[in-house]
A = this chain, B = another copy of it.
Amino acid sequence: MRIVLDAMGSDTCPEPEVAAAVEAARLFGEEIILVGPAEELKARLQSTGTNSASVRLVDATDTISMSDKGMALALKAKRRNSKTSMAVGIDLLKSGEADAFVTAGNTGGAMATAYFRLETIPGVERAGLTATFPVKNGLCIVLDIGANPDCKPEHIVQFAIMGSVYANKTRAIEKPRVAILSNAEEAGKGNELVRDTFPLLVKSGLNFIGNVEGKELFAGEVDVVVTDGFTGNVLLKSTEAVAKFIMDIMKEQLKSNLISMIGGALAKPSLTKIKAMLNPDEYGAAPLLGVNGLVFIAHGRSNAHALVSAIKAARASVEANLLGSIQSAIQDSIQKSQLEVLV
């Protein structure tokens, strides 16, 4: 198994990437391919002093930065001879030289590069970006959290199929409970998109449990929640923001008087544990499901530890044959709907 790590992704790259590549190669005993400016990376690798024989360097002279956008970004993503670390890394997937690609770089850049160079899995109309939410007694996969601000019902159904396969393959849930995010639990409630998608999910063959609200999501009553990329992005960012808001006022309040300060100090290990639970980095990276290759996107703030988690998540997906399983599930659903048209 060979996993490609974009050396030029994270906010403080390439330092965390070099450290993560060395650590992951040691930990998992797999070859890690580090893509970026080879000379610089070589020097950094040597300075780690560790035996980095299983970290292979592939040269990429250009990068996509966090500020790249619009047409300039599209060109960097699309051009055949693009030398960005993302383009070079993803080309290694396409040529079969590697099994998964991990980056902590510009999300839009990674999506565009993956779309242009790998295209979508045959039959998939839109790739969906996933996020893994910490919830009561477990985790919940949500997609799309931003790749497609406007969706059609058919896109949402494909997100549901792909999310269900992902939960099944990487978290060993036999029949993942799938739900659609709505403004009310009752069937028939929702906006036009939800109302139109609901009946398609009912007959999808998935373990579809209906509409859910934030309440059920965070109570751990569902394994996969599907929604359009606009609503999913609002969900992700607003819940992250409110969690930060609460932790901030807690910090402030615990400093407000001596007794609270002592209490806060005593409770600190517990509070730190909560912070870790709420930290998305703990859950590795999120795959872009639907492109024809395994592409994982980690947070820009990722440190070496978070990148090792990301590589671990990518590795588990390769081992579970996530890509092949999604390809099959999509083909099955297409055949099923063709049969329905015939009958």
Contact = CB atoms under 8 A, between A and B. Distances in A.
Copies of this chain per assembly: 2
A242 B260 contact: no
**Which one of A191, A254, A257 has the highest number of Cβ atoms from chain B below 10 Å of its Cβ?**
A191
Nearest to A108: B184
Contacts of A181: 234
Interface in A276-315: 277-278
Interface of A: 135-136, 146, 149-150, 181-184, 189-192, 194, 213-215, 217-219, 228-231, 233-235, 237-250, 253-254, 256-257, 259-260, 262-271, 273-274, 277-278
A125 B217 CA distance: 33
A247 B136 CA distance: 12
B240 A214 contact: yes
Contact of A274 (B192, B194, B215, B253): B253
A182 B184 CA distance: 21
Contact of A230 (B146, B183, B238, B240): B183
A254 B263 CA distance: 10
A2 B274 CA distance: 48
A218 B241 contact: yes
A150 B192 CA distance: 7
Given A135-B245, A242-B243, A237 B263 contact: no
A214 B234 contact: yes
Contacts of A263: 262-268, 270
